[in-house]
Chains A and B, each alone.
Chain A
Amino acid sequence: MMRFKIYRFNPETDKKPYVQEYELEKIEPGMMLLDALKQIKEQDPSLGFRRSCGEGVCGSDGMNINGTNGLACITPLADLKSPVEINPLPGLPVVRDLIIDMEQFYKQYREVKPYLTRKAPLPELELKQSPEERDKLDGLYECILCACCSTSCPSFWWNPDKFLGPAALLQAGRFLQDSRDQTQAERLEALDGPFKLFRCHTIMNCVQVCPKDLNPTKAIGEIKKMMLKRTI
């Protein structure tokens, strides 16, 4: 038997959020939290949460689980203390229950121009890139935009409109490190100033919670180094 205390809020019917408790009698070995949520939704179809792939690649089911951000589909129940307290990801407005409004997060993503930009004409075949150059993208391109990192970051909570947050900065790093991109100077310039990049105080919550084992803090450090190099 396992107990779950889940944040509930439907703006149509609830004046304020409340916590609802659920119980599951039968916990099978190997069950993930998403499996439990799906069973709870069978009891109570009004419970709202996002989900899709169920294997940690689509990034839909980020939530705060016993105080830590993570993806429900790859969080084993066996690792969780009962009652499991489940809340929406912090720092962004709640739409309903565990569903948050992610527009601010996506806006920051768009702001770093997350697309490869070339100035020279394109060749007929592929742009060459050595395996070593390609290795620099490992740990950067795998981001699934689940928002676990940014919504765990105090700098993001305080300045969501000015600080870009770890996820967007990881993307900035992904294109700064790509040997094929030809806008490095413009990208660095766009990140200059006291807030966008430099509000990162290396608290490293992002690294702790990333379900894909990525390291935004390291990526941010690399960007800072590139900026320094550029100013010398």
Chain B
Amino acid sequence: MAHSNSTKNISYRRFDTLIIGAGGGGLRAALQLSEADASVAVVSKVFPTRSHTVAAQGGVNAALANVSEDNWHWHMFDTVKGSDYLGDQDAIEYMCRAASKVVYELEHFGVPFSRLDNGSIYQRPFGGQSKNFGGSQATRTCAAADRTGHAILHSLYQQNIRAKTHFFDEYFAVDLIKDDEGNIQGALVFDIKTGDIVVIEAKTTLLATGGAGQLYRTTTNALINTGDGMAMSLRAGVPLQDMEFFQFHPTGIAGRGMLITEGARGEGGYLVNGLGERFMERYAPNAKDLASRDVVSRAIATEIREGRGCGKDKGHVLLKLDHLEESVIQKRLPGIRQTCKTFLGLDPVESEIPVYPTAHYTMGGIPTNRDGQVVTPVKDTPEEPVQGLYSAGECACVSVHGANRLGGNSLLDILVFGRSAANHIITQLQENRFHRRLHQPSVDQALERLFRWNKKGDGESVEELRTDLKKVMDENCGVFRTQEVLDEGIEKVSALAERLKDAVIDDHSDVFNTARVEALELENIMDVALATVYSAAARTESRGAHSRIDYPQRDDIHWMKHTLYFSENRSIDFKPVRTKPLSVDSFPPKPRVY
């Protein structure tokens, strides 16, 4: 039993690779590594199938052309345009080219995709998809009903059982271990069940800890999405990139936050306001309800601000599915039908669903290259790999999503870059046969962070600060932003971060101490909140999900660059967008109409 005093025994384990996080990104990487006979440890604070990938609904994009003509180059164009030209075009080309292969692999792993009459994988239309570089709607999202994330996560976990990957289930990662030369040597973790501390030494460490939706009060994200890996990176001196871009999904259940998949609109659903108008026709004459998420979310927020919302307080709009055949809803959208029945007591076959833009996805994250290597500015070079450290999935920023992610590209991102990170790790392992000598001061620092919560006495509670933080983020860093509101956000979050230093927990036990876990999670989400408000206040233009009322235009002359936020001194830096693809011509910025 560990925490009562700092003299407690610590055990040490050695693996080739440590993966932190067991969602789709972590598990895809783990599988690749296990099959290459590397020794892999996967550390996850929840049992792997409880990771948030499980909640992804609509599907994964790949230009399989099973339903209508398609190719990866069109997918690439849509992704670049969707990113509002902030995505790195080399990474986007890499992802879209790899998409079909990773989806076929998934199918071979056993994912129960829905099927077309000819036996091939079912695909549905999704937002922001087009044929022929901005032409008519494409049909690119491969789906297992509306439970695609569940199907993928379970299949990946199952394949890892086959491959005998070593899991540390319900272990919490406290901090990365880093030596004086900047090499990452693994992490200090503890067993939530016993409190026992383990230093996992690894030649390479992959962060795949997912997003930070718990920044906000109303969110589609699970309670575990507290930005742990992002915060660990910050504390290891690595910046976070493009954190001002946070996606609000157009259709969360109003006031509750449960996700209603974009697939609902892909299958023929549409939005109406309080006047019964199909208002998306005004905002996106061609794509209408299948415009990009930032466009649809802003449209909904605008309708409500201008008094055309629905309900008693005119605080939401309605998603209509009741014109669809019951068989379509039952076959293609059974999960959201169940969710509506459970949480709203209504059946979408008969009634409209009240929806509101809801915090959903962290576009920003730990900066990486296409091989999943974490990169950071060193002196005059904008990006140099951090030795031994990798990242993939929502916690990373490659950047393929830029200022706005397209629906169906998130599952694709975790698969493509989980896999490519693993492939790069395999080559690294061949060159690095031995573990470096463990840097004890770094271990001590991680212990200090953990033991800090053993402090007794009076102080504010974790719960109080967490509630206040979410309120500030809702009010000061939401869909629409101004300098004044963001500057106030910086002040308020900074004050909360100060107060957190003196917070206490009363429960100092070792066995499954959820109070301690929640305290450590709050520290993480606080660091991520600081990165988010500072980055948002720095960018004086509107692009993708970052909408500035005081700077309503996109400014390509000054702002075709990525934001970097560093914890040290809370400073901001920038680096250029990579506009040059791998093999095709660059897509230059154009006005973004749907």
Q: Are B511 and A129 in contact (CB under 8 A)?
A: no
Contact of B162 among A57, A115, A128 (CB under 8 A): A115
Whether B49 lies near A59 (C-beta < 8 A) is yes
CB-CB under 8 A from A186, the residues of chain B are none
A58 touches B49 (CB 8 A): yes
Is residue A116 within 8 Å, beta carbon to beta carbon, of the partner chain?
yes
Give residues of chain A (97-123) contacting chain B, Cβ–Cβ below 8 Å.
Answer: 97, 99, 101-102, 106, 110, 113-118, 122
Asked if B119 is an interface residue, CB under 8 A from chain A, the answer is yes
B-facing residues in A56-74 (Cβ within 8 Å): 56-60, 74
Docked Cα-Cα span, A152 to B118, in Å, equals 41
A115 lies within 8 A of B110 (CB): yes
0 or 1 for each of A67-84: is its CB under 8 Å from B? (1 = yes): 000000010100000000
In the complex, A138→B454 CA distance in Å?
49
B161 & A52 in contact (Cβ 8 Å cutoff): no
The reply to whether the CB of A144 lies closer than 8 angstroms to some CB of chain B is yes
Which residue of A12, A30, A53 has the most chain B CB atoms within 10 A of its CB atom? A53
> How many whole Å from A95's CB to the nearest CB in chain B?
5
B473 within 8 A of A: no
Among A11, A56, A126, contact of B120 (Cβ-Cβ < 8 Å): A126
Interface string of B478-511 (1 = CB under 8 A from A): 0000000000000000000000000001110111
Q: Is the CB of A11 within 8 A of B511?
A: yes
List B residues 254-298 near A (Cβ within 8 Å): 256, 258-259
Residues on A with beta carbons closer than 8 Å to the beta carbon of B154: 141
With CB as the reference atom, state the residue of chain A lying closest to B160.
Answer: A115
The answer to whether A45 and B462 touch across the interface, beta carbons within 8 angstroms, is: yes
Q: Does A125 contact B (CB under 8 A)?
A: yes
Please pick, from B104, B151, B338, B507, the residue contacting A141 in the complex, using a CB distance under 8 A: B151
Residues of A within 8 A of B107 (CB): 126-127
Taking a contact as CB atoms under 8 Å apart, the answer to whether B510 and A12 are in contact is yes
- Residue A91 is within 8 A (CB to CB) of chain B in the complex: no
Question: Which residues of B lie under 8 Å from residue A48 when comparing CB positions?
Answer: 512-514
Q: Kindly name the residue among B151, B335, B338, B510 whose own CB sees the greatest number of chain A CB atoms within 10 A.
A: B338
Digitize B38-50: 1 where CB-to-A-CB distance is under 8 Å, 0 elsewhere: 0000000011011
Contact B112 A42 (CB under 8 A): no
Give the shortest distance, in Å, between B231 (CB) and chain A (any CB).
18
Asked if B339 is an interface residue, CB under 8 A from chain A, the answer is yes
Across the interface, name the chain A residue whose C-beta is closest to B49. A145
Q: Is B52's CB under 8 angstroms from A46's CB?
A: no
Are B116 and A131 neighbours in the complex by a CB distance under 8 Å? yes
CB <8 Å contact, B47 and A55: no
**Residues 525-568 of chain B, each 1 if its beta carbon lies under 8 Å from chain A, else 0:** 00000000000000000000000000000000000000000000
Choice from A32, A58, A101 contacting B50 with Cβ under 8 Å: A58
Q: A46-B507, A56-B342, A115-B158 are in contact. Are A144 and B117 (CB under 8 A)?
A: no
Interface size range on A against B: 35 or more
**Minimal Cβ-Cβ distance residue in A for B105:** A122
A137 is an interface residue with CB less than 8 A from chain B: yes
A52-B224, A126-B107 known; A60 vs B116 contact (CB < 8 Å): no
Q: Which residue of A lies closest to B505 (CB)?
A: A45
Residues A53 and B161 in contact in the complex (CB < 8 Å), given A45-B506, A122-B108: no
Contacts of B515 in A (CB 8 A): 45-46
Complex interface: chain A residues within 8 A of B401 (CB): none
A-chain residues with CB within 8 Å of residue B118 when the two chains form the complex = 128
Q: Is A124 an interface residue (CB 8 A)?
A: yes
Top 10 A-B residue pairs of the complex, sorted by shortest distance between their CB atoms: A116-B110, A128-B119, A115-B158, A58-B50, A45-B515, A53-B222, A126-B107, A96-B512, A46-B507, A52-B222
Query: B-contacting residues of A (Cβ < 8 Å)?
Result: 10-13, 30, 32, 41-42, 45-46, 48-60, 74, 76, 95-97, 99, 101-102, 106, 110, 113-118, 122, 124-131, 133-134, 137, 141-142, 144-145, 175, 178, 180-181
A sample of 25 inter-chain contacts (CB < 8 A) reads A12-B511, A42-B463, A46-B506, A46-B507, A48-B512, A52-B222, A52-B223, A53-B50, A56-B338, A56-B339, A57-B55, A58-B49, A58-B54, A60-B46, A96-B511, A115-B155, A115-B158, A115-B161, A116-B158, A117-B162, A126-B120, A126-B121, A134-B115, A141-B151, A142-B150
Please give 20 more A-B residue pairs, beta carbons under 8 A apart, in addition to A11-B511, A45-B505, A131-B116: A10-B509, A41-B463, A45-B462, A48-B513, A48-B514, A53-B52, A58-B49, A58-B54, A58-B222, A59-B49, A95-B512, A115-B155, A115-B158, A116-B109, A126-B103, A134-B115, A141-B112, A141-B154, A142-B147, A180-B110
